[in-house]
Structure 1
Amino acid sequence: MNRRTPFEEMERVFDQMRHSMLGTWDLSVPTPDRRWPSGATAGANVSIETDDDGYVVHADLPGFERDELELTFDDGVLTLSGDHEVADETSARRRNVFEQVTIPGDVLAEEVTASYRNGVLEVRLPTADAGDDAHRIDIE
């Protein structure tokens, strides 16, 4: 039986509290510039921004390897999951992450890209209407 250290147990409890307070993040809820309120975090410390092409999602995932992460986009929901385990002769430690972000609008799913460098996952979700400039209409 693997026994958790007090710090691992505390991390698990805090992750449960964050998930119960924040649930899945829904970008259709109006917030200034569609950014999360200052200090809002989830188990993976996720941030969402908009740019000229659509949405950019960043997730801090130090310690994970690229092949331990799974990323899917289905029906307007970006899902990130990962499982990292470290074991030696005397102990074993496991870290899991699961986050979902609802993206409003028409995301061009075939053009979604992701990169993972230095423990930071960056997902770019271009939208069909991104970059459209407003057209000024003269009133006669």
Structure 2
Amino acid sequence: MTDYKVKKTDAEWRAQLDPMDYQVTRQAATEHAFTGRFWDHFEDGAYKCICCGAKLFESDTKFDAGCGWPSYWQPAEDGIIERVADHTHGMIRVEVRCQNCGAHLGHVFDDGPQPTGERYCINSAALDFVPRDK
């Protein structure tokens, strides 16, 4: 297991996060498709980790994958996303977590657009948004 920079007790995470954000980020739950606050959000800015504030994705890498969750073709910077093998629910997937605090974000798939060919399928509950200064 990764030694994360941001460490809090379960009680501290529960006090900081609303129930859905907690379930998604700390218990690897998934919000229902087409229900999250950012699935159809295309404002200019940055998407940050709801738990620790680390910048995870830029709006210019977001695209409509038609899946009902925010989708990005590249993280904001190398090394900010941790990849973990996920064998739950009878599937083999790659879970993605915030490298800074270990928050579960979603999964990454190899069916995204170029130039990376990747689709980071992320729960809105794992994200906060900061508009770019005009």
Same fold, judged at TM 0.5 (above): no
> Which has the higher relative contact order, 1 or 2, with Cα contacts under 8 A spaced 6 or more apart?
2
TMscore range, shorter length:
0.3 to 0.5
Report the structure, 1 or 2, having the larger strand content: 1
Query: TM-score, normalized by length of structure 2?
Result: 0.32
Larger Rg: 1
